Amino acid sequence: MSDAAAFTIGVEEEYQIINPHTRELAGKSSKLVDANQHNGHSQDLLYELHRCQVEIATGVCQTLDDVRQELLQARRSAMVAAQEHGLAIAAAGTHPFSRWQNQKVTPKDRYRSLDTVLQQLVREMVIFGSMSMWALPIAKQRLRW
């Protein structure tokens, strides 16, 4: 691609919040987000669908080096916030033994709305992912669905 400056990428990662003693999921996202904001990293750690998870997200990045640096900073912030509350974070697609029935939906309007409409589907969907968003400047290089 000749115009590298026009190419952009952003990445989001979702993490499990873990009780390090029991290894169970811990519904403590508000504690981590609050601690992160108190530490001056208000944009590094975000709420997700369930209270047992948090998300980090890069900004719109021009290079993979930028993505790497932003992810490393956000991961560090998440780990520090978790440690301040005696918790840990983990990256995996799902938890091996914590029951979905014990996980609560995050009390934010967006998630309450999803819970109201989709009900059990939302409650059972205790999964954790990583997403990348790519912007390609030339129309014929873009994917079409």
At 54, which CATH number?
3.30.590.20
Overall average pLDDT of the 22-28 stretch? 98
Look up the pTM and report it.
0.86
Is pLDDT above 90 for 79?
yes
Query: Which residue segment(s) compose the domain that 14 sits in?
Result: 7-135
Q: What is the dihedral of CA 45, 48, 53, 55, to 10 degrees?
A: -30
pLDDT score, position 136? 80
pLDDT score, position 1? 43
Question: What separation in angstroms does the CA of 96 have from each of 25, 86, 145?
Answer: 10, 21, 34
Overall average pLDDT of the 66-76 stretch? 95
Overall average pLDDT of the 11-21 stretch? 97
Count up the domains in the chain and report the number: 1
pLDDT score, position 106? 95
pLDDT score, position 62? 93
59 in a domain, yes or no? yes
11 in a domain, yes or no? yes
